[in-house]
C-alpha cells in the first residue's frame, strides 16, 4: 500500500451563523505520517478533519490527495476510512457485516470479504466475534470494530475523530498504545483529532495545535514541548510557570521570589519554565517561596509554591521528602531551561 499525502490549500469554512471554524488554513500532511490535531473545543479541529474527509466543503481553498484536487468530491468518492467519536457502527448489522460493509459497497466477492474480515478481526484482537450483535460489545470492542471497519477497504487515508474519547481512562491508556501499534503496522496516512495532549503526544508523528481556526503551531511532539511557538501552545502542552519580569539584575532578571538567570540582551515581560525543571534544593537556589500544597502522584510529587506572583509555581519533584504547608522552599533552575515566548 503506497501512502497518500494530503494538502490543504488556503481552506476556509464559515458556518451559517457566521462563525469562522477554519480560517485560511494551509497544511501539508506527509504520506504515511500520523498527524494529531489538538486544540480546545471550538478551535476548528473537527471541521478541519471533516474538510479532509469531504463531509464539509470549504468555502474557499482546496483539498489535495497525493497532489490531486479532491475538493468537489463527496466523502464516498474520496476513498477515506473514518472512525467516529461514538463509533457509528450500524446497529442493524453484526460485527462481520459492519466490517464488510465497505467491501460489499466495492463489490468485493463474498469469499474475499470473509477472508479480509477474519484477517481484520484478528488484527484488532476480536477473533470469533464476527457474529456478535453490536449491542453485545463493550465500548473498547466497539472502538476496535469501528477501526477494523474503517481500514477494511484499504483506504488511502485514515481519519479519526476523538477515537478514544468515549472510553474510560484505563481502557483509553491501553487502546492508545494498541492504536499506535496498528497505525505503524498499516503505514497509512492518518489524521486524528483530540483534545487530549497525552494522546496527541503518544500517537502523533507531528501535532497541529489549532487556535480559533488557525494554526498555532505544527511540529513534532518534542519540538512542541521544548520550543513552543507562543504562550497558547506552551500552556496547552503541559504545565507552564510564568514569571513576571520586574527588572534587570547583575546576571539575570528580578522576578517575584528571587531572580532568574537570563543573559539575552532583550528583556521580555514574562519568562517561563516547566515544572520539572524547577529543582527543590537545600542550597540557596534562585527563587524561594512558601509551600501551599503537595500532591503525591506516584513517581513524583507536584508542589505548589507561592512566590508572591499572580499564580503559585508548579514544581515536579521526584524527591520523596514530605514538606509541610508553609515551609520555605528554595528552587534552582538551569539557565537553558528558562525561556521567553511570543504572546
Q: Residues interacting with another protein, by CB under 8 A? A: 53, 55, 74-77, 79-82, 84, 86, 88-92, 101-102, 105-106, 134-135, 149-150, 153, 159
Please say which residue, 89 or 216, places its beta carbon nearer to another protein.
89
Q: Are strands 189-194 and 34-38 parallel, antiparallel or unpaired?
A: parallel
Give dist(CA 51, CA 170) in Å, integer.
Answer: 32
The distance of Cα 319 from the centroid of its chain, to the nearest Å, equals: 30
Question: Which residues neighbour 139 within 8 Å (Cβ) at sequence distance 6 or greater?
Answer: 166, 167, 168, 171
Provide the minimum distance between the beta carbon of 180 and another protein in the complex, in angstroms, as a whole number: 22
> Closer CB to another protein, residue 150 or residue 245?
150
Q: CB 89 → another protein: shortest distance, Å?
A: 8
Phi first, then psi, for residue 86 (nearest 5°) are -100, 20
Residue closer to another protein, measured from CB, 135 or 321: 135
**Closer by beta carbon to another protein, 88 or else 187:** 88
Shortest reach from residue 221's CB to another protein, in Å: 28
Nearest approach, Cβ of residue 153 and another protein (Å)? 7
Neighbours of 278 (CB within 10 A): 25
What is the closest distance, in whole angstroms, from the C-beta atom of residue 22 to another protein in the complex? 18
84 or 225, CB closer to another protein?
Answer: 84
Q: Where are the beta strands (DSSP E) in 167-320?
A: 189-194, 206-211, 214-219, 241-248, 252-255, 258-261, 270-273, 279-281, 287-296, 301-306, 313-317
Amino acid at each position: 500500500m503506497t501512502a497518500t499525502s494530503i494538502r490543504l490549500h488556503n481552506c476556509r469554512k464559515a458556518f451559517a451563523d457566521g462563525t469562522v471554524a477554519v480560517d485560511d488554513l494551509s497544511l501539508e500532511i506527509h504520506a504515511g505520517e500520523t498527524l494529531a490535531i489538538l486544540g480546545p473545543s471550538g478551535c476548528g479541529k473537527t471541521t478541519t478533519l471533516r474538510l479532509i474527509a469531504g463531509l464539509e466543503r470549504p468555502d474557499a481553498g482546496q483539498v489535495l490527495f497525493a497532489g490531486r484536487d479532491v475538493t468537489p468530491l463527496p466523502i464516498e468518492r474520496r476513498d477515506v476510512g473514518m472512525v467516529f467519536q461514538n463509533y457509528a457502527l450500524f446497529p442493524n448489522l453484526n460485527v462481520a457485516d459492519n466490517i464488510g460493509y465497505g467491501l460489499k459497497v466495492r463489490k468485493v466477492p463474498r469469499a474475499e470479504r470473509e477472508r479480509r474480515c477474519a484477517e481484520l478481526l484478528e488484527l484488532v484482537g476480536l477473533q470469533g466475534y464476527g457474529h456478535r450483535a453490536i449491542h453485545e460489545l463493550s465500548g473498547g470492542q466497539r472502538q476496535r470494530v469501528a477501526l477494523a471497519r474503517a481500514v477494511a477497504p484499504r483506504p488511502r487515508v485514515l481519519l479519526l475523530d476523538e477515537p478514544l474519547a468515549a472510553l474510560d481512562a484505563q481502557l483509553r491508556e491501553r487502546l492508545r498504545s494498541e492504536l499506535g501499534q496498528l497505525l505503524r503496522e498499516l503505514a497509512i496516512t492518518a489524521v486524528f483529532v483530540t483534545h487530549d495532549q497525552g494522546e496527541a503526544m503518544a500517537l502523533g508523528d507531528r501535532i497541529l495545535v489549532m487556535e480559533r481556526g488557525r494554526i498555532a503551531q505544527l511540529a513534532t511532539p518534542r519540538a512542541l514541548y521544548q520550543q513552543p511557538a507562543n504562550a497558547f501552545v506552551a500552556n496547552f502542552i503541559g504545565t507552564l510557570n510564568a514569571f513576571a519580569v520586574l527588572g534587570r539584575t547583575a546576571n539575570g532578571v528580578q522576578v517575584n521570589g528571587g531572580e532568574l538567570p537570563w543573559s539575552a540582551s532583550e528583556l521580555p515581560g514574562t519568562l517561563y519554565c516547566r515544572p520539572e525543571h524547577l529543582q527543590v534544593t537545600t542550597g540557596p537556589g534562585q527563587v524561594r517561596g512558601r509551600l501551599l500544597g503537595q500532591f503525591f502522584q506516584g513517581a513524583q510529587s507536584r508542589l505548589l509554591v507561592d512566590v508572591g506572583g499572580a499564580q503559585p509555581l508548579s514544581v515536579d519533584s521526584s524527591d520523596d521528602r514530605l514538606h509541610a504547608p508553609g515551609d520555605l522552599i528554595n528552587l534552582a533552575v538551569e539557565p537553558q531551561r528558562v525561556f521567553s515566548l511570543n504572546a
